Amino acid sequence: MKKLGFGLMRLPCIGGDGKNIDLEKVKEMVDLFMEHGYTYFDTAYVYHGGFSEVAFRECVVKRHPRDSFTVTTKLPLFSNPDRAGMEKIFNESMTRLGVDYIDYYWLHALNRGSYQYAVESGAFDYLRELKAAGKIKHMGFSFHDNAETLDKILTEQPDMEFVQLQINYLDWEDKGVQSRLCYETATKHGKPVIVMEPIKGGSLANPPKKAEKLLKDHAPDASCASWAIRFAASLPNVMVVLSGMSELWQVEDNLSYMDDFKPLCEEEYKIIAEAAENIRFAIPCTACRYCTDGCPMSIKIPDIFAAYNTMKHDIHKKHEAREKYAEIVKGGSKADDCIGCEQCVNACPQHLDIPKLLAECAADLS
């Protein structure tokens, strides 16, 4: 299998509506991706409010032979579903996807707390039953926690076949994300790794100027995103690197260096390490949008954080960031409309204190 996977959580949308996916544009992107021999697609029950799975059916399943692609989707435990709830979610995913089996089925975004619930609720046993029945081909989980927790899960659930981890060159030595330690733990247990967030929600595609200059001085024609994806794909135990592509040009850029993939060389590792030292994000949000689905105030949290980061990274862009913020909140909720319910905190894979950060954004952007 080629190492580039198509992540379906940031698909192009019409009118800024995450549920109104531009299917014609997605079809064009999918067709180019598959023409180049790539087969791996990654979605989830919650992406785009459930419409990511539907878009996959319309753009891939209905238009390409079943043996020409593989698909991953995920069982969310965010709402603590019981066995009946898990069955309902799985059956809905099957209907949305329009397939009679799922290639890879994961428990979604496990951490210390959700792992305990997964054990108590029988979620792992449910995956085993689905596999025994031929409804799924492979089982595993995506993960957002520390290496100690990952080691515990893989020790106690040794038949899980794959692990999906957040890996990028900025988080590689991060004490919170622990990308390197988690990768090494999965490797120790003999579990192939699927990489999510290799570009950290798109932020490594447009790094601060000092970091960008380091990359461009070495390879003027290479996109900054290409460095991030090649970093992840260069790891020997990585099976697939997911790229959440939103535009055709992003597909084209990824294909330009992944068709004839070359791992990073020693000099490039040194450059990327120096670039990482020059990248600091005021708010390390990856724009996964898990926080927005249940927000009672419908606050566009990742978009507000992006505007705030723009202002903090470049003092000359303060006016631009405030204009962007005004556009984001026009006709909707502002950052200071947060009621502090903290559903977003529980949903955030990065463990951000979102209400506190929204208050900071309101003070600086308003």
In a domain, 283, yes or no: no
Helix (H, G, I), strand (E, B) or coil at 161: coil
Report, as an integer, the average pLDDT of 185-201.
97
Are both 54 and 198 inside the same structural domain? yes
pLDDT of 310: 82
| Cα angle, residue 155 at apex, residues 152 and 161 outer, rounded to 5° | 110
| CA distances in angstroms from 296 to 179, 292, 338, 339, 343, listed in the order given | 32, 9, 9, 9, 9
Q: What pLDDT, on the 0 to 100 scale, is given for residue 34?
A: 98
Report the pLDDT value the prediction gives residue 316, as an integer from 0 to 100.
Answer: 66
296 falls within a domain: no
Give the rounded percent of residues in the chain with a pLDDT score beyond 70: 99
Residue 18 has pLDDT above 90, yes or no: no
What percent of the chain has a predicted confidence (pLDDT) above 90? Answer: 82
Contact 135, 95 (CB under 8 A): no
Residues 316, 335 contacting (CB under 8 angstroms) = no
Same domain, 182 and 262: yes
Whether residue 292 is contained in a domain is answered as no
- pLDDT band at 5; cut points 50, 70, 90: very high
Residue 72 lies in a domain: yes
The residue segments making up the domain with residue 232 are 4-277
What CATH number should be reported for the domain holding residue 245? 3.20.20.100
277-281-282-287 Cα dihedral, nearest 10 degrees:
-160
pLDDT band at 282 (very low <50, low <70, confident <90, very high): confident
Q: Are residues 14 and 140 in the same domain?
A: yes
Which pLDDT value is given to residue 53? 98
Strand 40-42 and strand 4-7: the pairing is parallel
Regarding whether 134 and 51 lie in a shared domain, the answer is yes
Q: Is the pLDDT of residue 95 over 90?
A: yes
Domain membership of residue 66 (yes or no) is yes
pLDDT value of position 315: 63
Burial 231-269 (b: 16+ CB within 10 A, else e): bbbbbeebbbbbbbbbeeebbebbbebbeeeeebeeebe
Overall domain count for the chain: 2
Same domain, 161 and 74: yes
Considering Cα of 222, then 34, then 165, then 308, what sign does the dihedral take?
positive
> Looking at residues 14-29, what average pLDDT do you find?
93
Q: Are 48 and 19 in contact (CB under 8 A)?
A: yes
pLDDT tens for 222-252 read 999 999 999 999 999 999 999 999 999 999 9
Residues 158 and 273 in one domain: yes
Q: Same domain, yes or no, for 333 and 234?
A: no
Token digits of residue 178: 């622990």
Interval 313-318 mean pLDDT? 72
Domain presence at residue 350:
yes
pLDDT tens-place string over residues 107-119 = 999 999 999 999 9
- 3-state DSSP call for residue 137? strand
Rg (CA), the chain: 20
136 pLDDT more than 80 = yes
Indicate if 76 and 186 belong to the same structural domain.
yes
Q: Match 């950060």 to its residue by tokens.
A: 357
- Spell out the alpha helix ranges (H) of the chain: 23-35, 51-56, 83-97, 112-121, 123-132, 147-156, 179-188, 209-218, 224-233, 248-258, 266-277, 301-313, 318-329, 343-347, 354-365
> Average pLDDT over the chain, rounded to whole?
95
Residues 154 and 115 in one domain: yes
Q: For 286-305, how does the pLDDT look when each residue is reduced to its tens digit (9 = 90+)? A: 888 888 878 999 999 999 99
Q: Note the pLDDT of residue 312.
A: 83
pLDDT at 366: 86
What pLDDT, in 10s, does the model give residues 207-230?
988 999 999 999 999 999 999 999
Q: Are residue 180 and residue 314 in the same domain, yes or no? A: no
Q: Do residue 73 and residue 198 come from a single domain?
A: yes
Whether residue 164 is predicted with pLDDT greater than 80 in this model: the reply is yes
Question: Pick from 277, 292, 311: which residue ends a domain?
Answer: 277
pTM over 0.85: yes
Q: What is the pLDDT of residue 17?
A: 85
Q: Which residues pair with 6 in a beta bridge?
A: 41, 243
| pLDDT band, residue 331 (cuts 50/70/90) | confident
The answer to the question of residue 235 being in a domain is yes
Pair 250, 306 in one domain: no
Task: Decide if 39 is inside a domain.
Answer: yes
